[in-house]
């Protein structure tokens, strides 16, 4: 029956495919009820098992039937039938997962619903499962269905499905790639990201050597980015492992088997300071509210509940995290109060002024750190060191061995010396600008680019190599060591109990241990052969030298990472373990026996698996993050392997690397060396950066309302005017004529729909009508003058029956024109530069004086040309809060809980919905009956609330962007997003695309893995598609986490199809067989016939196998031989000659057949339809023992 399924798939017959499966499921039989036959013998040297481990990969013994031909539902589908392979080992599920036809998901769903479908089978060529193929061909929806099927099998154990020894995502192909590894390697953006991080790690930027030039240009060979690894910022912190010492920060003592995200809360004082900075930076948005806010801040009684959500939700970015046995510290990028610590408080190691235990991370703002920015932190078992941005060093905790760097006074006998709050270290560090610190259980290390300082208990690791070094038990204050040892600057240091490790800018690693020092040499260019005693070079595929770029340590182990992503470890021995023969009291460099031979514990097998960060765990095992952003931990094998001769002198292979699930895009890993772990994850910020704001149309809309009709030229393709710079030649021509400026003024104010303000000058008897709301919105002086009808020495206000008159004393008509022109456009016509025009020479000075009197800073800047920023939007934003702006409104918008006044001219110019309402085909005639007694047109929008519509109206008047939502006060991000989504819904209904884009930009800043699918479902129908495109990219590059956690199940089906397309676009240039069918057919027209032949070759053997099954039921003594299971030369003579020819064609294709791409399958209908022979012909064929075949018309 499998042949019918294959035929239905190639015919794109979904209904027939389902009907065959439904009929087969009714008489379903498993191979467990069958016995082996001769067809189970391996004929071609490879295993042709047809099921998961535990199932029988053999041809079944045929059940007895009375019906000798055709297919009956009683036959049923066996596990072997449904998982039949072709000559390349591909099952029907493999081919469906490789197809890109629209109906593919329907075939996959039907096949995966069949309980006997084996999703674990691997093909012969690549070792790919169906999940591998689904990812490779961009079929995310099929991949999701396959993973769902695996989950159901594990939970339900349906139909006795045998349990696979390992999960589907851990099955490796012939190259050692899992399904997600294959997906990662085919995504273009991941490749670009890997290139960026590789260039960072290999030295495109980093710490500049002091011996180099003083400019910012860096020499990649000398100043490669060694310290840049610590400068990579993250967006999330996850911790897991043992929590016996409450170092995970979750508020309890429970261990965590899987990583969980940490939530930090800023201290109240820091939020208040951020609120103050916010008010100062947004003063031109809120006017006098800023002074009130500043006063409230100074008085110190700000209620956090009143702080806007935009301030409280400023993203926390993570600079670093450090772990020790008893506490954990996190550094953020805040300018102050950026150190958070949790753990056991005994001994004062936390720095809060007491010894209480903190189960959750709390900010350390005592001892002067509250006003400083900490840039690096180091943790010992019982003490903590911190470096601030100004190069100062603070320490606190237990000072048993002098590891704090200073002496504590007032210490009673038999009392532990404790420093409960951070205290600055002075002494030799007073005039030094410290670059970094390191700490172990018994000592501390401080370094500058040129100096190294150590203090604490002396066990030979302090770098003190004097003759009396062994007699010094401890060093209580910082001591400068190795002054003449280093030939270049220090990049970073690490400290363990037995050693101090220094990484220099020239990538040399020096170690101080056992009262001496030594340079460590790592096998960067080859590996040692025990028998041949020589080094074999490993060829490099890049021209970049392989150098040590990162060091760390834990316990007795030193760990180093190279620029190519290799990891090496070395063990430090105690003096008693070395023996007296290896110690030297006269030459401190002779400490060879102090270290084991460095060995490579992580080598490069694939580019995306190169290490990018590493930490040392218990017993010298490591945890690392790869270039792909995955995390791997070294664990003991359940059964340790025996040491062979080639492994003499090195550690036996008792360890293996296992991947930590649910972690991607990780940039840093940390270990406490006591079973606790932490990682920093970088978010893919496409939704924060790629939703770009389009240009503001505010000035263009207001320019259309200018009273100078002759100056506005409209394009032939629409109603948008040309650039305002084209106005200047026309003005110059008018100014050259006597009294030409008068022709620009409209003589009749009836053309204005609203009551205008007419501005006059005492030097002329004509006026220019201006929109009242615009003049009120742009000038506070005129606004106050209109309210009080006050007269000033240069301005007189007069109310008439039809308009309000404003007369300027002694103002030149050219100046008046420029003033009005600036009100609408934020630009001035530089008429004073016109040649041979004496009238225009004094216009510039008149405009500056007028700007001073009217308090128009923007006009003065425009005339002086000292600031090109236009201020029309800022002026309207401030004026919107003044009720005087709406005194002449002619529209009354009725809302759910109130009414709002507006101006029809602004609404029509800024909103297509209102433009069609007032100026559509009917010319607004239907609005005549809606005019109220006050003369305002009533518009019913009662399905909008006043608060939500207020954001829309503010945008219409002032073109406000993301600052619209700066003052929203709400406790949770969900409430904030709901508010923004409500505004976006109104924007979409009123056809305000830019406002919709602004809302999407605001929402994009709060997108994460947990809400991206839900937000995309809501926002996708919006005409502005920026968020949809960005969210699809975000999903594309976080597929692994979204699939593993089931977040993708929330996505609508049509959007899931778009995800498939987006993945294929990224894979187009990085994976084979990604060209469209149309492109292939244009390049090779003969493929049309070849793929038909390929389909015949694929279907006919399946049909032949089923024919042989039916024949065997008639002749039980005849052994059934599947032509797919044996070489053609081994076929028995009883088999049909045509079957032998088909098998020969499959395993020995012609030259034309070899040109057919392996993964190029036909996903539509054949050009020639497949029909069965007539019943009579079939009966004759059965009687004669010949093959039941299909004919192609």
Write the pLDDT tens digit of every residue in 1161-1192. Answer: 444 433 333 333 334 443 443 334 333 333 33
Res 668 pLDDT > 70: yes
For the CA atoms of 745, 750, 756, 758, what is the dihedral angle to 10 degrees? 40
- Report the pLDDT value the prediction gives residue 1182, as an integer from 0 to 100: 39
Average pLDDT over residues 722-749: 49
**DSSP letter assigned to residue 595:** B
- Report the pLDDT value the prediction gives residue 1172, as an integer from 0 to 100: 38
How far CA 438 is from CA of 326, 448, 456, 460, 498, in Å, comes to 16, 12, 12, 16, 13
Average pLDDT over residues 859-884: 86
1019 vs 1028: CA distance, rounded Å = 7
Res 1014 pLDDT > 90: yes
Query: 1048: pLDDT confidence band, cut at 50, 70 and 90?
Result: very high
- Report the pLDDT value the prediction gives residue 710, as an integer from 0 to 100: 53
473 vs 476: CA distance, rounded Å = 10
205 vs 225: CA distance, rounded Å = 5
Q: Domain residues of the chain, as ranges?
A: 2-181+1074-1192, 186-224, 267-315, 318-681, 698-883, 894-956
Res 492 pLDDT > 70: yes
Is-contact 948 986, C-beta < 8 A?
yes
Res 130 pLDDT > 80: yes
Residue corresponding to tokens 């001994």: 347
Question: Strand 1170-1172 relative to strand 1190-1192: parallel, antiparallel, unpaired?
Answer: antiparallel
112 vs 158: CA distance, rounded Å = 12
Res 144 pLDDT > 90: yes
- Report the pLDDT value the prediction gives residue 584, as an integer from 0 to 100: 56
Question: Strand 383-388 relative to strand 374-379: parallel, antiparallel, unpaired?
Answer: antiparallel
281 vs 1056 pLDDT, higher one: 1056
Average pLDDT over residues 1080-1096: 69
Instruction: Give the three-state DSSP class for 527.
Output: strand
Average pLDDT over residues 1084-1103: 66
- Report the pLDDT value the prediction gives residue 469, as an integer from 0 to 100: 78
Token pair for 859: 């006009």
Instruction: Give the three-state DSSP class for 50.
Output: coil
Class of the CATH-defined domain 2-181+1074-1192: mainly alpha
- Report the pLDDT value the prediction gives residue 1068, as an integer from 0 to 100: 80
Among 108-117, 707-716, 970-979, 1086-1095, where is mean pLDDT lowest?
A: 707-716
Helix (H) or strand (E) holding 1114: helix 1087-1114
CA 853 to chain centre: 52
The pTM of the whole model exceeds 0.95 = no
Residues in CB range of 1103: below 8 A, 6 or more apart: 3, 7, 1187, 1188, 1189, 1190
Average pLDDT over residues 411-434: 90
Backbone φ and ψ of 862, nearest 5°: -65, -40
99 vs 1102 pLDDT, higher one: 99
Question: Strand 383-388 relative to strand 393-398: parallel, antiparallel, unpaired?
Answer: antiparallel
Q: Find the largest Cα–Cα distance for the chain.
A: 122
Name the average pLDDT for the chain.
77
Among 493-497, 544-548, 686-690, where is mean pLDDT lowest?
A: 544-548
Query: 965: pLDDT confidence band, cut at 50, 70 and 90?
Result: very high
Res 1091 pLDDT > 80: no
Q: Right CATH number for 698-883 from 3.30.710.10, 3.40.47.10, 2.30.110.10, 3.40.640.10?
A: 3.30.710.10
Res 540 pLDDT > 70: no
278 vs 535 pLDDT, higher one: 278
Among 322-331, 616-625, 745-754, where is mean pLDDT lowest?
A: 745-754
CATH code at 318-681:
2.130.10.30
- Report the pLDDT value the prediction gives residue 565, as an integer from 0 to 100: 93
Percentage of residues of the chain with pLDDT beyond 90: 42
Q: Same fold for the domain at 318-681 and the one at 698-883?
A: no
852 vs 751 pLDDT, higher one: 852
């Amino acid at each position: 029956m499998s042949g019918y399924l294959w035929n239905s798939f190639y015919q794109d017959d979904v209904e027939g495919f389902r009907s065959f499966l439904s009929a087969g499921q009714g008489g379903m039989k498993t191979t467990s009820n069958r016995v082996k036959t001769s067809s189970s013998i391996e004929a071609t040297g490879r295993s042709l098992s047809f099921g998961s481990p535990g199932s029988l990969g053999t041809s079944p013994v045929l059940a007895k039937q009375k019906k000798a031909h055709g297919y009956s539902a009683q036959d049923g589908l066996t596990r072997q039938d449904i998982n039949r392979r072709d000559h390349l080992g591909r099952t029907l599920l493999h081919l469906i997962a490789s197809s890109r036809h629209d109906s593919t998901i329907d075939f996959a769903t039907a096949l995966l619903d069949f309980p006997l479908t084996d999703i674990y089978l691997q093909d012969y060529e690549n070792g790919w499962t169906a999940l591998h193929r689904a990812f490779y061909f961009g079929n995310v929806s099929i991949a999701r269905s396959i993973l769902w099927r695996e989950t159901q099998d594990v939970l339900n154990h349906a139909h006795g499905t045998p349990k696979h020894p390992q999960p589907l995502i851990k099955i490796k192909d012939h190259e050692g790639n899992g399904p997600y590894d294959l997906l990662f390697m085919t995504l273009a953006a991941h490749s670009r990201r890997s290139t960026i991080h590789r260039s960072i790690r290999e030295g495109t930027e980093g710490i500049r050597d002091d011996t180099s030039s003083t400019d910012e240009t860096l020499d990649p060979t000398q100043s490669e980015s060694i310290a840049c690894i610590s400068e990579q910022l993250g967006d999330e912190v996850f911790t897991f492992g043992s929590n016996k010492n409450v170092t995970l920060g979750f508020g309890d003592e429970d261990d965590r088997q899987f990583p969980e995200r940490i939530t930090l809360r800023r201290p109240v004082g820091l939020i208040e300071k951020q609120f103050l900075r916010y008010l100062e930076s947004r003063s031109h948005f809120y006017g006098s509210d800023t002074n009130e806010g500043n006063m409230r801040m100074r008085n110190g009684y700000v209620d956090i509940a009143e702080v806007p959500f935009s301030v409280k939700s400023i993203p926390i970015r993570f600079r670093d995290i450090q772990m020790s046995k008893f506490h954990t510290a996190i550094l953020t990028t805040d300018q102050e109060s950026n150190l958070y610590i949790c753990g056991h408080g005994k001994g004062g190691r936390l720095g809060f002024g007491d010894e209480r235990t903190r189960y959750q991370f709390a900010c350390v703002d005592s001892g002067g750190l509250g006003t400083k920015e900490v840039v690096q932190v180091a943790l010992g078992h019982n003490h903590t060191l911190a470096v601030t941005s100004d190069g100062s060093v603070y320490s606190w905790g237990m000072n048993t061995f002098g590891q704090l760097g200073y002496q504590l006074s007032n210490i009673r006998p038999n009392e532990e010396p404790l420093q409960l709050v951070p205290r600055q270290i002075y002494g030799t560090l007073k005039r030094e600008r410290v670059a970094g610190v390191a700490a172990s259980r018994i000592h501390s290390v401080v370094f500058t680019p040129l100096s190294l300082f150590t203090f604490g208990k002396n066990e030979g690791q302090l770098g003190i190599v004097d003759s009396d070094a062994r007699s010094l038990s401890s060093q209580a204050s910082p001591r400068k060591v190795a002054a003449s040892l280093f030939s270049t600057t220090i990049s970073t240091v690490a400290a363990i109990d037995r050693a101090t490790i220094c990484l220099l800018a020239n990538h040399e690693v020096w170690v101080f241990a056992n009262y001496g020092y030594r340079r460590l040499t790592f096998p960067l260019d080859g590996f040692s052969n025990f028998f041949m005693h020589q080094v074999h070079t490993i060829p490099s595929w890049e021209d970049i030298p392989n150098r040590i770029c990162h060091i760390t340590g834990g316990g007795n182990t030193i760990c180093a990472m190279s620029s190519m992503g290799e990891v090496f470890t070395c063990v430090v021995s105690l003096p008693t373990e070395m023996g007296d023969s290896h110690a030297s009291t006269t030459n401190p460099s002779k400490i060879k026996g102090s270290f084991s031979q460095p060995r490579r514990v992580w080598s490069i097998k694939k580019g995306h698996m190169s290490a990018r960060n590493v930490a040392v765990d218990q017993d010298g095992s490591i945890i690392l993050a790869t270039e792909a952003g995955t995390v791997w931990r070294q664990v003991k094998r359940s059964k340790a392997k025996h040491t062979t001769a080639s492994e003499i002198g090195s550690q036996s292979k008792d360890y293996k690397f296992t991947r930590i699930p649910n972690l991607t895009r990780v940039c840093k890993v940390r270990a406490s060396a006591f079973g606790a772990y932490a990682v920093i994850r970088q978010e893919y910020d496409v939704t924060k950066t790629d939703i770009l704001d389009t240009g503001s149309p505010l000035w263009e809309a207001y320019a259309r309302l200018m009273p100078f009709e002759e100056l506005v030229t409209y394009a032939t393709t629409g109603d948008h005017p040309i650039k305002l710079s084209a106005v200047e030649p026309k003005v110059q021509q008018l100014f050259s004529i006597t009294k030409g400026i008068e022709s620009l003024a409209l003589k009749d104010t009836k053309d204005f729909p609203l009551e205008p303000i007419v501005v006059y000058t005492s030097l002329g008897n004509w006026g220019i009508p201006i929109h009242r709301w615009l003049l009120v919105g742009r000038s506070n002086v005129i606004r106050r003058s209109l309210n009080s009808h006050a007269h000033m020495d240069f301005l007189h206000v007069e109310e008439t029956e039809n308009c309000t008159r404003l007369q300027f004393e002694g103002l030149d008509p050219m100046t008046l024109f420029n003033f009005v022109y600036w009100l609408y456009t934020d630009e001035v016509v530089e008429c004073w530069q016109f040649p041979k025009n004496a009238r225009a020479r004094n216009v510039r000075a008149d405009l500056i004086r007028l700007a001073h009197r009217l308090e128009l800073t923007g006009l003065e800047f425009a005339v002086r040309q000292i600031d090109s920023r236009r201020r029309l939007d800022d002026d309207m934003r401030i004026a919107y809060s003044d009720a005087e702006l709406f005194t002449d409104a002619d529209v009354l918008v009725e809302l759910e809980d109130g009414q709002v006044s507006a101006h029809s001219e602004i609404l029509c110019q800024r909103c297509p919905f209102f433009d069609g309402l007032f100026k559509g085909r009917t010319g607004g005639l239907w609005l005549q009956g809606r005019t109220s007694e006050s003369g305002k047109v009533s518009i019913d929008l009662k399905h909008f609330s006043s608060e939500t519509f207020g954001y829309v109206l503010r945008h219409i008047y002032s073109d406000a962007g993301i600052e619209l939502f700066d003052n929203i006060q709400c406790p949770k991000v969900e409430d904030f997003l709901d508010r923004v989504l409500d505004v976006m819904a109104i924007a979409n209904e009123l056809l305000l695309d830019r406002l919709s884009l602004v809302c999407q930009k605001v929402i994009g800043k709060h997108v994460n893995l947990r809400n991206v699918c839900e937000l995309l479902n809501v926002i996708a129908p919006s005409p502005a598609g920026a968020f949809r495109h960005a969210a699809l990219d975000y999903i594309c590059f976080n597929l692994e986490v979204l699939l593993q956690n089931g977040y993708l199940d929330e996505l609508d089906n049509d959007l899931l199809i778009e995800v498939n397309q987006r993945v294929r676009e990224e894979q187009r240039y990085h994976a084979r067989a990604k060209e469209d069918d149309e492109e292939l057919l244009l390049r090779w027209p003969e493929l049309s016939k070849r793929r038909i032949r390929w389909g015949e070759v694929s279907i006919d053997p399946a049909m032949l196998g089923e024919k042989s099954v039916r024949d065997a039921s008639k002749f039980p003594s005849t052994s059934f031989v599947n032509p797919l299971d044996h070489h053609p030369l081994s076929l028995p003579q009883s088999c049909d000659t045509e079957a032998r020819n088909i098998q020969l064609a499959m395993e020995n294709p012609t030259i034309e057949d070899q040109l057919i791409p392996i993964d190029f399958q036909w996903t539509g209908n054949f050009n020639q339809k497949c029909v069965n022979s007539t019943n009579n012909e079939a009966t004759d064929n059965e009687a004669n023992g010949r093959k039941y075949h299909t004919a192609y018309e």
